[in-house]
Amino acid sequence: MSAAAWARDRRTLAGLVVAAAGLAVAHLQNRPLVESRVRADIFEDPLGHTPPLVSLTTVALGGFRGLIADMLWVRSARLQEEGKYFELVQLADWITKLEPRHAAVWRYHAWNLAYNVSVFFSDPADRWRWVENGIQLLRDEGLRYNPEDAPMYFELAFIFQHKLGEKLDEAYPYYRNRLADEMTRLGLGFAMDFDRLAGDADARDALRTRLRLDVGRMREIDARYGPLDWRTPWPQAIYWAHQGLPLADSFHERALNRIINQCLMRMVQEGTAVRRDDGTWTYEPNLALAPVLVRRMQEVAARYPDEMPFLHAKVGNLEEVIALTGVWGDWATARMAHDALREAMGITEEEPPEVFAALALMARVDDPSSARVVTLVLGALVQAEQWRARAQFVRAMRWEAAAQAWYEAFDARLVSESARRRLSAPPLDELRARARHHVREGQASGFPFRTDVDLLELMAVFAEAGPPPSPAP
Amino acid sequence: MRAVAAIARVSLQGALRSRLVVAMLGLLLLTVVVLPATIRGDGTLAGYTQVQIRYGLGAAGMILTVMTLWAAAAAVSLDVETRRVQTVVTKPVGPFTLWLGKWLGLCVMNAVLLAACGAVVFAMFLWKTREGPWDPDEARDFREHVRVARIPVSPDLAHLDRRIAEEEEAIRRDPEAPVDVRDARAVREVARQRAVARELFVAPDSEKSWRFEPPRRIRTDRPLVLRFRLAAARMSMEPVEGAFRVQAGPQTTDLIPVAAPPNRTTTLTLPPLSLAPGQPVTVTFVNRDQPAVFSAGEGLRLGVYETSFAVNYGRALLMMYVRLVFIAALGVTAGALFSFPVAAFVTGCLVFFVAMTAFVRTTPDAAHSHGGPPPEASPWEAFANRVAGAIHPVFVPLTDPDYLEMVSTGESVTWGLALRSLGFKIGVYGGLLALGATAVLRRRELGEARA
């Protein structure tokens, strides 16, 4: 062998030795690395349960996918800053596909689309598209790759509860209308017959494909927290929050429970969807949920006995239930809530719930918030109808006048155009017609009517006695 | 000429023999076919178009750039390294012919591949944006405002310089000036921003006019459009109400009422006007609402129809092609100077520098624009800024506007723009690179035996 050839072979040999040594070191490092990934809960199984495209990107791009995701992320931030939103959904889609097991990435992008980007659009239809994109990103894809991520369930539930359920976004009526339309198309409604739904394969599949709702779980949720009106946003918030509960750490368990509580309260106030003649929807109280809320408050407070936020929520919600059920004449639930409240506050004296209901109502008519104004006014109008039906015309007129006064007091507070668009209650005549409907339709919302209690009279007595004392014990 | 053609053919064959180029070809095929299938857009036709064209062609362009860079750097350097070049230089073939042949081979490769990619992306675009599945109103808007090529004309702000000078004077006199008055550049920038803002501000119950000078050649059978964007201080669904009036010579339109959502670009098709060549157009905004300010930059533009979307798309492909053949020229020249890996690295770095100098130059300005005291630059940042500032003018002619965004938003990639790019990248810089490479190849000993 010539000297040159030997020198060449020696170099090759040396290279092979170095490569083999490198391989050995990598092999030794592999096991601790895998263990530390498992410990940190970032172990990935890119080929399991993922579509080919995601498997391809995660495996084929290897470490470079992080780099590409960063580049796309920078571009996404720049476009958003420049007000160019067309690409954001696409970029969010690609970024999340590049990091499918990084749950925070899904949560961030869904939030960004539903909250930060949507508000830049003035057309409610445009806004809804962005909110819907945010929901779909989490529900249809994020949870598919991260089915055990409780914060993701929280974010999804929160979008339903807050973005659609609260009245903070000017376009919320449009969101609710679209949701109610879609739910109606899918055959969902109030107090559903889940046996029939479970037997209808097409409806079941449509729910599964379009909204990722499982009929069995819906039945479970409805039995536990219902009867729910699935055309409203809150049942879906509860559905997703409930899915997250078994997976949650202590912090998220509380957060998810809080969402369920708040949804129940909101549904007591406006949890029934009613379609108007023009195809839009209006919302009325779902008082059938008031006893559920009372029991729920007791359960949750018992679960977190030393935590003041839950105790405060319990007291506040029970007071609200007493006032609202009182004005509608549902004295059985008012008594139940009053008993729970006395127990929570350690009050042993026997007190009539009617007195407390009158006091709670006085405090609330002074502050008829947008969430409760329909319940209060509609309740007063139902009272007027009930008294009128019993030929008690003076009482009926007093209730009618009270309804009008509460309605106008609330309306007078809506000074800006924006607040008026967002928070206005339905026209008073529409509420009058709904009250007549409630009374005429038998006991649909009516409860055994007590002629021995007139809350307005009690309120008048307290008003004469001076400023209303705080209803809270 | 036969020699050039023969070398070009060999250059093309050499490129296709490279494993990386073949791998990139596979990736290119995958990208062009698979990527559009992953595109979901934002649910609108306009959004889908932007994403499909930008990312479909953008990704293809990126892969072609890597391919070209690699093949070009290898074209001469590997021939020298393997001594294949001796079979050429021993014939009556000059260094320029060698360079030209190598470069033309790569030009042919890029032309074929880019044309194929462009055709696939365009065909997919036509298929996806066909009439059937979309809302008819949206499809009509798309046809009128996106699937066209319009030249945007900004208002004539010739008097702005005087206003800027006045603002500069005011800032210098202001004891509470928002910038360090000794920093002339910062003062000028703030003055410019203020002057532009004043120019684009319309008080409630008042009106303001702007003069536009459309291009001399204009299609009179297509209406003008007005694209405007009103800035608003708060996120609201409440539109800003007002009206536009357009005047061209003796013709004046009626007031055209608008209710424009804030912070969004609104496109308004103007009533037909018969414009004489070179006739200016005056647009007046009558504000009947809250204080309104048109966003700086793209806040108020007149759109003049120029040509069809397909022609515009073709010009965008031409711009992309010119960029690729410039990279080919750069790589072939680098290959004439250095060995293959060094040539590939140098070409890559230069391409990166061209892309990054504008970013490095504008970053300190962006930091300034957020207000507050100017950030203290580290010695390294100061050095990098100085270097970027010094070489920026050299690279400016090589930077292009975002032609993919332009074509996907219905903005014209004009022939002027395409020819300017062609002239600078191929005529000037390509010529200089060819001369440099020729000079080097003439002096370089290409026939030396390997050590």
Encode pLDDT of B99-146 as tens digits. 999 999 999 999 999 999 999 889 988 888 877 677 888 888 888 888
Residue A273 lies in a domain: no
In this prediction, residue A261 carries a pLDDT of 92
Q: How far apart are CA A342 and CA A473, in angstroms?
A: 8
% of chain A exceeding 90 in pLDDT: 28
Residue A376 lies in a domain: yes
No. of helices (H) and no. of strands (E), chain B: 14, 11
Amino acid identity, position B19: R
Name the CATH code of domain B150-308 (choices 2.60.120, 1.10.3470, 1.10.490, 1.10.10): 2.60.120
Is the pLDDT at B158 greater than 80? The verdict is: no
Average pLDDT over residues B312-322: 95
Q: Which residues pair with B227 in a beta bridge?
A: B267, B301
Residue A193 lies in a domain: no
Encode pLDDT of B275-307 as tens digits. 777 788 999 999 887 777 887 666 788 888 888
Q: Is the CB of B47 less than 8 angstroms away from the CB of A89?
A: yes
Give the distance, in angstroms, between the CA of residue B66 and the centroid of all CA atoms in the same chain: 19
Q: Is A191 left (phi over 0), alpha (psi -120 to 50) or beta?
A: left
% of chain B exceeding 70 in pLDDT: 92
Q: How far apart are CA B194 and CA B178, in angstroms?
A: 12
Encode pLDDT of A12-31 as tens digits. 889 899 999 998 988 888 78
All structural domains of chain B with their residue ranges: 2-148+314-443, 150-308
DSSP A162: I
pLDDT band at residue A177 using 50, 70 and 90 as cut-offs: very high
Q: Is the CB of A90 less than 8 angstroms away from the CB of B238?
A: no
> Which helix (H) or strand (E) is A238 found in, with range?
helix A234-244
The domain total for chain A is 2
What is the residue-averaged pLDDT of chain B? 83
In a 3-state reduction of DSSP, which class is residue B281? strand
Is the pLDDT at B423 greater than 80? The verdict is: yes
A411-425, B98-112, B175-189: which is most confident: B98-112
Which residues in A lie closer than 8 A to residue B263 (C-beta atoms)?
Answer: 83, 120
Tokens of B258: 């608008």
Average pLDDT over residues B316-323: 94
Cis peptide before A227 (omega within 30 of 0): yes
Give the distance, in angstroms, between the CA of residue A345 and the centroid of all CA atoms in the same chain: 29
Radius of gyration (C-alpha) of chain A in whole angstroms: 29
pLDDT band at residue B373 using 50, 70 and 90 as cut-offs: low
Of A418 and A118, more confident: A118
Distances (CA, A) of A318 to A70, A287, A295, A356, B334: 49, 13, 10, 11, 80
% of chain A exceeding 70 in pLDDT: 91
Encode pLDDT of A128-167 as tens digits. 999 999 999 999 989 988 888 999 999 999 999 999 999 8
**Which of A116, A147, A178 is a domain's end point?**
A147
In this prediction, residue B322 carries a pLDDT of 95
Q: How far apart are CA B10 and CA A180, in angstroms?
A: 68
The residues, ordered by sequence, that sit 6+ positions from B349 with a Cβ below 8 Å of its Cβ are: none
Inter-residue contact A194 to A296 (CB < 8 Å): no
Distances (CA, A) of A360 to A330, A466, B314: 15, 15, 73
Establish whether this prediction's ipTM goes over 0.85. no
State residue B148 phi and psi, 5-degree precision. -145, 180
Strand blocks (E) in A174-246:
none
Encode pLDDT of A338-384 as tens digits. 888 888 877 777 778 888 888 888 888 777 778 888 888 998 999 89
Range of the domain at A71: 49-147
Q: How far apart are CA B281 and CA B58, in angstroms?
A: 36
Residue A196 lies in a domain: no
Is the pLDDT at B323 greater than 90? The verdict is: yes
For B238, the closest of A87, A94, A417 (CB atoms) is: A417
**Which of A102, A129, A147 is a domain's end point?**
A147
Q: Is the CB of B237 less than 8 angstroms away from the CB of A124?
A: yes
Average pLDDT over residues B200-224: 84
Look at A160-169, B163-172, B329-338 and tell me which has the smallest mean pLDDT: B163-172
Inter-residue contact A150 to A244 (CB < 8 Å): yes
Residue A242 lies in a domain: no
User: Closest Cα of chain B to A208: distance in Å?
Assistant: 21
Q: Is the CB of B51 less than 8 angstroms away from the CB of A87?
A: yes
In this prediction, residue A226 carries a pLDDT of 78
Is the pLDDT at B330 greater than 90? The verdict is: yes
In this prediction, residue B276 carries a pLDDT of 79
What is the residue-averaged pLDDT of chain A? 85
Q: Which of A122, A129, A423 to mutate to test the interface with B (most CBs of B within 10 A)?
A: A122
Is the pLDDT at A69 greater than 90? The verdict is: no
User: Closest Cα of chain A to B50: distance in Å?
Assistant: 7
Provide the 10 A C-beta neighbour count for residue A220: 15
Inter-residue contact A287 to A324 (CB < 8 Å): yes
Average pLDDT over residues B26-39: 79
pLDDT band at residue A470 using 50, 70 and 90 as cut-offs: low
Residue A236 lies in a domain: no
Q: How far apart are CA A411 and CA A400, in angstroms?
A: 16
Average pLDDT over residues A225-231: 90
Residue A192 lies in a domain: no
Inter-residue contact B111 to B321 (CB < 8 Å): yes
Encode pLDDT of A244-288 as tens digits. 999 999 899 999 999 999 999 999 999 999 999 888 999 999 988
Q: Is the CB of A86 less than 8 angstroms away from the CB of B50?
A: yes
Q: Is the CB of A53 less than 8 angstroms away from the CB of B261?
A: no
Residue A130 lies in a domain: yes
